[in-house]
Structures are given as structure tokens and as C-alpha cells.
Homo-oligomer: A and B are copies of this chain.
């Protein structure tokens, strides 16, 4: 694995948006070049690029691509905004790009969004790692790593910062059904960084928490409401509830662009319902009987009362959470 770190998750090549195709990991490291906005929208929908901060960066470069191809910018922005409903970073990044008056400034703005995300990853990692003991076992859900961001990570950014600070850190990675981002992506990038990782079925997390084998649970988020309610990958809410039950702190690490003061509480966060085939099938094979229904909500909402701290590039926020517009 000769990939540099921070990972080159999204790049502008001069004529295409180049993504690490995360649907192919960990089996193959393949880059996907999106040469039209429609190709990039498809890549976002298919989760070739996923993770709230990474989607924001990809959408920003999507506007660069639209300008490069001479596509109407308003239309391109609308199509990119319609790809995924929950992650607020997507809308935040598109809004920033919309504020750029001179189209020649779009590339610089997209590069700035990417650079800021990397810097925020390092800053939140540093703030978050101070919360962790040494040695430390962290449990995480889904992939809130370098691959979910411009390259450094949110929840895993905290792990990387602890590792870089010399702490002996190990990770339990929930496999994260239905799309196994934990088993595929979190395990892959932790292994690449030399950090011991053990994958487990999502529902086995409750037992390792009960057994006192976890010092902290850390996840990322797709949107945080003004009151601190957290929308994140389906399975985060039961994990936070079990962590609270066993006195294990549940932390959320996000760039401040994931906090949406315009959303009062989790009740008003739209939750994406994805294709039931993600539940019916895996690796092509169908596991449920034909004709049976499946329910596939992509996210759930963790009430703020279960969140011990929210870590951003600004530092560690403690409850009660009252996020206001800057």
C-alpha cells in the first residue's frame, strides 16, 4: 500500500474530478475520473466518494468541472445538491462555491475547501486525542476516516493524532451493514497506518462495551443540529445508547461545516432511504427470498443527551449544546 497520507480522496486533474473509487476497496485501489457533472453525481450516489466532508469537497470540485466544461453553473449546483439529502457539508460547500463571483476563482475556492478540511482534521484530531487515555481502545462505526474527508479524517483523525502522539491505541471497527464501510474502509485505512484493528458485527459492539473492553466510542456525523442531535450512519444511535448504559463516553468528531444551526433538532433532519437491494443482496448474491420487503434507512439520529462531547477544529464542545450561526 503505497498510497500517501493524507489520502488523495478527491483531486482536480485539470479536466476531471479524480476520486479513489471506494466501492472497490479494499480489494482494489482504483481511481475514477469524472469528466462530466453527471458522472460525478453518479459517483456520489453510488458512494464511490462518501462521508460528509468528502462529499463537500467532491461537490466543490464538481463546480470547477462544470465551469471547465461550460455547463450552466446553477444547473450543475442543483444536480449536485440533489445527490444525497442528509450530509449538510454538501450544501455548505455548494453555497461557498456559489459565493465566488468570478468563475476563474472557483478552483482556488475548491482547493481552499479541501485544504481547510485537512487542517480541520488535524486540529480536531489534536483536540480529540487529548480526551483519550494511554493505552486506549476506541470503538468506531462506519468510516469517519481519511477516506470520508479530504484525506485525514474526523473520528479516525482523532485516532491518528493519538497514534502520532505516541499513545498505544487499538480500534474495534463495526463492520457497518449494509454497505460494510467499517469492514472495508476503516479496516483498510487503519491497517495502512499500522494501527491494530478488529472488525466485529455491529451488534457485537454492545457486548464488548458491556465487557469493559472499550475506553471511548468515536464516530463522525453527517449533520449536527443546533441542539446537538447527531445524524450519522444507521447504527450510531443504538451504539450511543449502549455506550451510555455502560458508562463509556460517546464522542462525535466533525468539522464545524457539519454543524447546521439552521436545523433546530434531529427531528427535522431528512433521512435518506436507500435502495432495498443494499439489504437484499451482497456481492451480487441475494440473501432474502424474492418478494420479501426490506427497510434501508441510511442514517439515524442520536439525541444530544447521549453525546459526551462534540470535537471540532475549534476544540471540545460539552453539553448542553447550543450551536448558533457564526
Contact = CB atoms under 8 A, between A and B. Distances in A.
Contacts of A188: 289
A245 B234 contact: no
A295 to B, nearest CB: 4
A113 to B, nearest CB: 30
Nearest to A170: B293
Given A177-B202, A203-B202, A206-B300, A197 B292 contact: yes
A72 interface: no
A295 B234 contact: no
A26 to B, nearest CB: 4
A287 B285 CA distance: 14
A140 to B, nearest CB: 14
Interface of A is mostly: mixed
A288 B242 contact: no
A283 interface: yes
A183 to B, nearest CB: 5
Contact of A288 (B184, B196, B206, B239): B184
A265 to B, nearest CB: 14
A307 to B, nearest CB: 16
A245 B235 contact: no
A35 interface: no
Interface residues of A, number: 50
Given A203-B203, A297-B204, A287 B183 contact: yes
A294 B197 CA distance: 8
Contacts of A245: 241
Contact of A201 (B234, B237, B293): B234
A147 to B, nearest CB: 13
Nearest to A26: B289
Contacts of A187: 288-289, 292
A204 B295 contact: yes
Interface string A101-125: 0000000000000000000000000
A183 B300 contact: no
A198 B295 contact: yes
A241 B289 CA distance: 29
B199 A294 contact: yes
A184 B280 CA distance: 10
A20 to B, nearest CB: 15
A181 to B, nearest CB: 10
Contacts of A206: 235, 237-238, 241, 300
A180 interface: yes
Interface of A: 26, 172, 175, 177-178, 180, 183-184, 187-188, 191, 196-208, 210, 234-235, 237-239, 241-242, 245, 279-280, 282-285, 287-289, 291-297, 300
15 contacts: A26-B287, A178-B201, A183-B280, A183-B288, A191-B291, A199-B293, A201-B279, A203-B235, A203-B239, A204-B234, A204-B295, A205-B238, A207-B234, A207-B237, A283-B284
